[in-house]
Amino acid sequence: MNMRALPLYVTIGIFLVAYLICWIQFPNMLSTRVVGNLLTDNAYLGIVAVGMTVVIISGGIDLSVGSVIAFSGVFIAVMLRDTGLHPLAVFAILLALTTAFGGAMGWLIDRLAMPAFIVTLAGMFLARGAAYLLSIESVPISHPFYQSLQGAYWLMPGKGRLTLIGLLMLFTFCVGMIMMHKTRFGASVYAIGGGEATAALMGVRQGRTTVKVYAFSGLMAGLSGIVFSVYTGSGYSLATVGTELTAIAAVVIGGTLLTGGAGYVFGTLIGVLTMGLIQTYIVFDGTRSSWWTKIVTGLLLLLFILLQKGLVRLSESRLVAREG
């Protein structure tokens, strides 16, 4: 068994066991209605988690994504309220802004040799402050095009609805998997996460790749903001507080090493669905507080951090044994 893939296998196993337990208690959990709601409710988180996966595999971190999502929602709502632009034009402007914002953070991280934690923390405050400048209050979105997006779905067997934003999340994960495992850019990201020596041996341009990594994260955060605005039908500067930490938790639970260099986009999808399944179970049960979602997520996160630590020590011991 590939030891680097062990966290992914554990993630899949936990998800299947959890779903089995939920099904035994609540047979309706297997219905396509529940599956459709699970994808729709976690669409914005899944999309931003794709970008976070790429960043963490590269050995970095991005704390700005939650604020960028909030900024995106407010930006869209204000632009549609105060201008005559079509939503698609606003989407294009927004994605250009968030991509440039992410790329700028990547440039600062590389050129100034600053820790990603500090740069993206500054980006988090900057994006949130920009959202406050646009509007402190919630701004509703009532454009007819938005109503069409919200009403778009594919009716699955069992009358479950696979909504447009749920389908977009699945498509984003497919793109992420192809990008990370079938392209030169993906190989470069893994090389950077493996260390400067590994990247140098592969001839990777670290500066350019770092800028692209954070630009991609900004793009995914902007796309997540669009999805979140469709999901809620409004823009609010105080929305998605702490989403960056939830996305990091989903990535780690999905089997990606926090030290970088190893991980799978598919694992992040399972991590997002596992966290959504916990929330769904609590809703079905009806007797437990929603705070149990945080508690169980924290326990799972601790479990995977301990698992990763054990794998690192095992790899080091094997390396020492070979050299001996």
- Give the whole-angstrom CA distance, residue 120 versus residue 137: 25
Give me the pLDDT at residue 61, please.
Answer: 93
Q: Which residues lie across from 179 on neighbouring strands?
A: none
The kind and range of the H/E element at 234 are strand 234-235
- Could you tell me if 227 and 169 are in contact, meaning their C-beta atoms sit under 8 angstroms apart? yes
HSE toward the beta carbon, residue 297, CA cutoff 13 A: 23
For the whole model, what pTM was predicted?
0.89
pLDDT in tens, 84-114: 899 999 999 999 999 999 999 999 998 888 8
**In tens digits, what is the pLDDT along the chain, a chain of 324 residues?**
456 677 788 888 888 888 888 888 877 777 888 889 889 999 999 999 999 999 999 889 999 999 999 999 999 999 999 888 999 999 999 999 999 999 999 999 988 888 899 999 999 999 999 999 998 999 999 889 998 998 888 888 878 889 999 999 999 999 999 999 999 998 889 888 877 777 777 777 888 889 999 999 999 999 999 999 999 988 999 998 889 999 998 998 888 888 888 889 999 999 899 888 888 878 777 666 666 667 777 777 777 777 766 765 665 566 555 655
- Give the whole-angstrom CA distance, residue 204 versus residue 189: 9
- Residues contacting residue 266 through CB under 8 Å, at least 6 positions apart: 8, 173, 177, 254
- Residues contacting residue 208 through CB under 8 Å, at least 6 positions apart: none
The secondary structure of 143-175, three-state, reads CHHHHHHHHCEEECCCCCEEEHHHHHHHHHHHH
- Could you tell me if 44 and 230 are in contact, meaning their C-beta atoms sit under 8 angstroms apart? no
3-state secondary structure (DSSP) of residue 245: helix
Give me the pLDDT at residue 1, please.
Answer: 47
Both tokens of 315, joined, read 């790899």
Give me the pLDDT at residue 142, please.
Answer: 87
Residue 138: Cβ within 10 Å count: 15
Range list of H helices, the chain:
6-25, 32-41, 43-57, 65-82, 87-111, 116-134, 144-151, 164-182, 184-194, 196-201, 206-232, 243-253, 265-285, 291-323
Give me the pLDDT at residue 26, please.
Answer: 79
* Residues found in the chain: 324
Give me the pLDDT at residue 265, please.
Answer: 93
3-state secondary structure (DSSP) of residue 39: helix
